[in-house]
Structure 1
Amino acid sequence: MTPTDAGSAPRPPGNRPQASALTLADLADLLGAPAAGEATTAISGVTLASAEVRAGDLYAALPGARTHGARFASDAAARGAAAVLTDPTGLETARVTGLPVCVVDDPRAVLGEVADRVYGAPSRQLTVIGITGTNGKTTTAYLVEAGLAAAGLGTGLIGTVQTRTRSRAADGSSTLTAFPSVRTTPEAPALHALLATMAGSGVSTVVMEVSSHALVLGRVGGVRFAAAGFTNLGRDHLDFHGDLEDYFRAKAMLFDGRSGRELVTVDDDAGRRLAGLRPDAGTVSIEGRPTGWPRVWPPPPTAAPRSP
């Protein structure tokens, strides 16, 4: 993670709420017990880009492919960071800042829950619909969001092309705000801050694309999904996943029980396999396959007719 990674905070600048400050003691179950004298350190935001730190932020110094975020902890401290979250490898470098340093074995694994708590559990205030799959995520997300907006709801859209809100005022008027997306699914601190901003601006339902990278890297950690949808699985991102089996397992993570309802397209082998793993999921097909909600896929075998 570089100090100016634009994926760490939503755009445009300023679209990140300063939450009511928690303390390190309030986050101890996620970050470990703070050292003596550090329990009352106030945390009012979270980021993993040092160049975007605001006063009171917890700076997440994560290991990266080319460098470690702890290298930029001093820059984060100069910008007003209140504490640092890192792994054992980054501990000694982060200590130079003089800030409280929280150390966990896998910071990414807890970062979503931390951001969710700091920003007031925004996905509990919203109906969040996640859509994953190789092809069709963007189109499906736009169609679903447009339908919800047509029904008079305040909506949010988070995806590959853009992030946008259609907030609803008390008089029924709608305001559309949009800006280009940095990546399909934002990093966890950015995502929870964005959801909090949406929840505070007249949005009730958010439709978001959920990439396989996001699932593996914990970007949607802490998000409560009301519903999840699967489109299909093709040959893509194998440079990251290695093979199709790993890619499938990454997509299937959205259907590990974190979503209230699940809907699976069963027009390819991966969809039928996923539906078989999730017998309570609804199914949909454009090829005339059996569908319903809930149903078991594949159906139980039919007994062979007896000879007369």
Structure 2
Amino acid sequence: MLTRLKSPDAAARWLTEWCTGTLRTDSRQVMPGDAFIAWPGYARDGREFVAAALAAGASTCLVEEADVERFGFVDARVASLPGLKARTGEVAAAFFGKPTDKLDVIAVTGTNGKTSTAWWLAQALG
């Protein structure tokens, strides 16, 4: 039975329950324990490769919800999320614990002196 998820955070929680590897968007790169993320593309629809990803050892697959019925997914390891392609970054960020929240960024802009200022800042901040 296909699980229908409503938000990127819900998708990340669901993936965490199933996935022991990493996230993949290419079924040919799937390793045992990975999660396969599949959405419609320009030339092919990634959802066509869900069976191949599962056969390669994917622990779960997250697919685009639009028009998902035509694929007939019945495996409990498959879930859908509306707008998946646009929301994959949010899903990945939540899955990996929002690592960018731990980053500090300093920008140096202007016409002259950017390189010198950047080096001085790097030395000062250690």
TM-score, normalised to structure 1's length? 0.30
Alignment partner of 1:122 is 2:99: yes
- Shift, 1:115, TM fit: 0.9
* Structure having the larger proportion of residues in strand: 1
Q: Secondary structure at the match of 1:73?
A: helix
Give per-residue Cα distances to partners, 1:239-280, cap 9 Å, x unaligned. xxxxxxxxxxxxxxxxxxxxxxxxxxxxxxxxxxxxxxxxxx
Matches of 1:148 and 1:52 in 2, distance apart?
Answer: 40
Q: Secondary structure at the match of 2:44?
A: coil
Aligned residues: 111
Alignment partner of 1:49 is 2:20: no
Match of 1:95 in 2: 73
Matches of 1:109 and 1:56 in 2, distance apart?
Answer: 24
- Shift, 1:149, TM fit: 9.4
Q: Which amino acid aligns with 1:95?
A: F
Match of 2:62 in 1: 85
Q: Which runs of 4+ in 1 moved over 6 A?
A: none
Over the aligned positions, Cα root-mean-square deviation in angstroms equals: 3.8
Task: Classify 1:149/1:112 alpha carbon distance in 2 versus 1 (closer, same or farther; 3 Å).
Answer: farther
Select 2:11's aligned residue among 26, 31, 53: 31
Q: Which amino acid aligns with 1:100?
A: R
Match of 1:301 in 2: none
Match of 1:151 in 2: 122
Give per-residue Cα distances to partners, 1:35-58, cap 9 Å, x unaligned. xxx994235421211111222222
Matches of 1:43 and 1:118 in 2, distance apart?
Answer: 11
Q: Which amino acid aligns with 1:151?
A: A
Q: How is 1:7-26 mapped onto 2 (pairs within 5 angstroms)?
A: none
* Structure having the larger proportion of residues in helix: 2
Q: Which amino acid aligns with 2:96?
A: Y
- Shift, 1:125, TM fit: 2.1
Larger Rg: 1
Matches of 2:43 and 2:60 in 1, distance apart?
Answer: 23
- Shift, 1:116, TM fit: 1.1
Matches of 2:56 and 2:106 in 1, distance apart?
Answer: 35
Q: Contact 2:64–2:81 (CA<8 Å) still a contact in 1?
A: yes
Q: Contact 1:42–1:56 (CA<8 Å) still a contact in 2?
A: yes
Task: Classify 1:47/1:33 alpha carbon distance in 2 versus 1 (closer, same or farther; 3 Å).
Answer: closer
Q: Secondary structure at the match of 1:81?
A: coil
Q: Secondary structure at the match of 2:62?
A: strand
- Shift, 1:31, TM fit: 2.8
**Larger relative contact order, structure 1 or 2 (CA cutoff 8 Å, min sep 6):** 2
Matches of 1:86 and 1:113 in 2, distance apart?
Answer: 15
- Identity, in percent, stands at 26
Q: Which amino acid aligns with 1:30?
A: A
Bigger drift between 120-129 and 57-66 goes to: 120-129
Unaligned runs of 5+ in 2: 1-6, 108-113
Q: Contact 1:45–1:57 (CA<8 Å) still a contact in 2?
A: yes
- Shift, 1:83, TM fit: 1.1
